[in-house]
């Protein structure tokens, strides 16, 4: 393992020194300063915790990453209390290990290999949006380009992808940023009330209208109106909204005077509005008025590399809100999250992290604190069952039997670890094998994938 990590990190451009045991490591720490120490936990004489204490005693700024094949919550908590940056169980994924090394050095300010650390930290935040994936960079670029225009915008995406955050980002970068941003939840206002909410009403317009009331359009004058779930807007209101967009005027319920209004419309939907138009549930002319510019929000499963960034963002946010001292997500917990499909997207991740911070007793989120939706996992498993069945069909072209069996083994082990929330003992029981057998199989799969 030591030689493997030497080859791996040297290949990444890092300057690497090796120590055969804890005693040699402590001697090297007396002689030389290191940005990062990677140490095993179980060693004779001086163990990994001893090396960790020595490294922090010599230089508190030294980052330390612990590795162990015997990962337990207790040892992880002890390592984090002593100041370790992260705790990685064996076997680990090479890509994940490289990310942790990179993040640890960035946290120290050392930056990438060959760099001086200055300006190394990426801009992961775009207003209230978080992420640095290529998919999100496309969204950021489009937001910058359309923010200063007057064009109406339609934001499309699955529930929980952050459509309202995009609308707010556009508003804050527009010339209207100092004026109101009014959110209208089309699915949350009863149909018999939505007209009076949008346009306001005059005294005596209906029973209970004891005084004039200003509508949401008038309240948003000079600013932005955000229609959340525009596909739920009743047909009767669609006609009146079209007039507001075309004429920039409206009349209050029970009133006769037309009022001018200057607002920009941003709409969001998780429906296929083109299909809604074809099936006559949404007006075609209104669709084209709202959909001048379309922004598509990617689901979390397609945002490569954003999950660690988002997890850390929510962890810091809820640590402050709940007055907890939870500093980061353990590598093992993060690995479990990365194997999860997140049908509820970023909103579901936020809820998971909030629960984890609330439940966590240490200063690092461990797998035991994660609560994933077993119902969704079972649903995902059912959806993938036909695919697994198709892979077993043999044709005249033949198959690579070893590769097929390896893929199946990896898939079932992954599902077992998800269902057991990272407990290898429980995962082994689900697979009807011994913990030692599971450990061997994980090592074999890790070596092949590396």
Give the helix ranges, DSSP H, for 322-400: 331-338, 345-359, 374-391
Give the helix ranges, DSSP H, for 20-65: 22-31, 48-58
> What pLDDT does residue 121 have?
38
> What pLDDT does residue 161 have?
94
In order along its 450 residues, the chain shows pLDDT tens digits of: 888 888 889 888 899 999 999 999 999 999 999 999 999 888 888 888 899 999 999 988 899 998 877 655 566 667 777 788 877 877 777 877 888 888 788 777 765 665 444 333 344 567 788 998 999 999 999 999 999 899 999 999 999 999 999 999 999 999 998 898 999 999 888 888 888 889 988 887 787 777 888 889 988 999 999 999 999 999 989 999 999 999 999 888 888 888 899 999 999 999 999 999 999 999 999 999 999 999 999 999 999 889 999 999 999 889 988 888 888 888 878 888 888 888 899 999 999 999 888 888 788 888 777 877 543 444 344 445 444 444 455 666 677 777 778 778 888 888 888 777 677 887 887 888 887 788 878 777 654 444
Domains identified in the chain and CATH numbers: 2-108 (3.40.50.2300), 134-296 (3.40.50.300), 391-450 (1.10.10.60)
> What pLDDT does residue 184 have?
92
Contact 316, 125 (CB under 8 A): no
> What pLDDT does residue 36 have?
94
Largest Cα span, the chain: 90
> What pLDDT does residue 269 have?
95
SS3 56: helix
> How far from 424 is each of 72, 226, 359, 360, 414, CA to CA, in Å?
10, 47, 21, 20, 11
Find, among 37, 311, 268, the residue nearest to 159 by Cα: 268
Find, among 355, 362, 275, 329, the residue nearest to 96 by Cα: 329
> What pLDDT does residue 120 have?
37
Contact 126, 140 (CB under 8 A): yes
Contact 82, 37 (CB under 8 A): no
> What pLDDT does residue 449 have?
43
- What are the backbone angles phi and psi of residue 325, rounded to the nearest 5°? -110, 45
Measured CA to CA, the distance from residue 151 to residue 81 in angstroms comes to: 53
């Amino acid at each position: 393992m030591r030689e493997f990590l030497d080859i791996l990190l040297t290949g990444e451009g890092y300057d690497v020194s090796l120590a055969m045991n804890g005693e040699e490591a402590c001697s090297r720490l007396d002689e030389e300063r290191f940005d990062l120490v990677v140490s095993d936990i179980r060693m004779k004489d001086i163990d990994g915790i001893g090396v960790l204490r020595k490294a922090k005693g010599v230089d508190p700024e030294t980052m330390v990453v612990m590795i162990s094949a015997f990962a337990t919550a207790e040892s992880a908590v002890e390592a984090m209390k002593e100041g370790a940056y992260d705790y990685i169980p064996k076997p680990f994924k090479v890509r994940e290990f490289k990310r942790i090394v990179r993040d640890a050095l960035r946290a120290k300010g050392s930056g990438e290999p060959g760099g001086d650390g200055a300006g190394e930290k990426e801009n992961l935040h775009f207003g209230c949006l978080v992420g640095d994936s290529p998919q999100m960079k496309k969204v950021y670029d489009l937001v910058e380009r359309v923010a200063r225009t007057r064009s109406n915008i339609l934001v499309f995406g699955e529930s929980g992808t952050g459509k309202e955050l995009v609308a707010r980002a556009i508003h804050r970068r527009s010339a209207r940023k100092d004026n109101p941003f009014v959110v209208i939840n089309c699915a949350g206002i009863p149909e018999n009330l939505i007209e009076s909410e949008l346009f306001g009403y005059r005294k005596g317009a209906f029973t209970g209208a004891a005084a004039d009331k200003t509508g949401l359009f008038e309240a948003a004058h000079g600013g932005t109106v955000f229609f959340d779930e525009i596909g739920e807007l009743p047909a009767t209101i669609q006609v009146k909204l079209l007039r507001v967009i075309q004429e920039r005027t409206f009349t209050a319920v029970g009133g006769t005077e037309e009022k001018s209004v200057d607002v920009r419309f941003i709409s969001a939907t998780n429906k296929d509005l083109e299909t809604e138009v074809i099936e006559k549930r949404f007006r075609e002319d209104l669709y084209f008025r709202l959909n001048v510019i379309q922004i598509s929000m990617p689901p979390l499963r397609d945002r490569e590399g954003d999950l660690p960034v988002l997890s850390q963002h929510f962890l810091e946010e809820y640590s402050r809100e709940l007055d907890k001292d939870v500093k980061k997500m353990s590598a093992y917990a993060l690995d479990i999250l990365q194997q999860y499909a997140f049908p509820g997207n970023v909103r579901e991740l936020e809820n998971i992290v909030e629960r984890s911070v609330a439940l966590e007793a240490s200063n690092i989120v461990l797998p035991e604190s994660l609560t994933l939706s077993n119902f969704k996992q079972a649903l995902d498993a059912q959806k993938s069952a036909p695919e697994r069945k198709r892979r077993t069909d043999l044709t005249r072209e033949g198959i690579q039997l070893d590769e097929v069996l390896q893929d199946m083994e990896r898939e079932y082990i992954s599902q077992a670890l998800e269902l057991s929330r990272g407990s290898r003992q429980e995962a082994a029981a689900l697979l009807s094998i011994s913990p030692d057998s599971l450990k061997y199989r994980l090592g074999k799969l890790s070596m092949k994938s590396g």
